[in-house]
Amino acid sequence: MDKITKHATTDEILALIGERLQRLRLRQNRTAADVATAAGVSLMSVMRAEHGENATMETIVRVLRALDQLEALDNFLPAPIVSPLALARLGGRARQRAGTPRKPRTDRTSHAPHAPRAPHKKP
């Protein structure tokens, strides 16, 4: 597998990310020990990351920084774009939390046509 798809398992995705880290390092003709030293992490942390063994986000960021590839994170997870209409609806503020989904109305008067009412008579 060379491309991450929604059908890939977590282990497959981690392995692919590790392969990509290793290829970046080898393309620069650097040893894992050199990258570990430059990243300020242990050699085992670099090796775990390259083998897809669930490295921490901090290790990934440090390794990418040592490889001068931090821009890969913008490609990995681009900043969400807020539509101007949504921004206007929110009064110019960015959304801070998710809303509660609205329940469908279950009462009989929700969309049923109203029958004409008799005028109210005073006693």
The structural domains of the chain, with segments of one domain joined by +, span 10-76
10-27 vs 57-66: helix crossing angle, rounded to 10: 20
Q: Which residue has the higher pLDDT, 1 or 79?
A: 79
Q: Render pLDDT for 60-114 as a digit per residue (tens, 0 to 9).
A: 999 999 999 999 888 877 777 777 776 677 676 666 677 777 777 776 555 555 5
- pLDDT for residue 29: 97
Please state, as a whole number, how many other Cβ atoms lie within 10 Å of the Cβ of residue 50: 23
Question: Encoding tokens for residue 107?
Answer: 């009462």
Q: What is the CATH number of domain 10-76?
A: 1.10.260.40
- pLDDT for residue 70: 92
- pLDDT for residue 43: 97
Q: Which of 33-37, 47-51, 55-59, 76-80 has the lowest mean pLDDT?
A: 76-80
Tell me the chain's radius of gyration from C-alpha atoms: 27
- pLDDT for residue 31: 96
Tell me the pLDDT band of 25, cut-offs 50, 70 and 90: very high
pLDDT at 27 over 60: yes
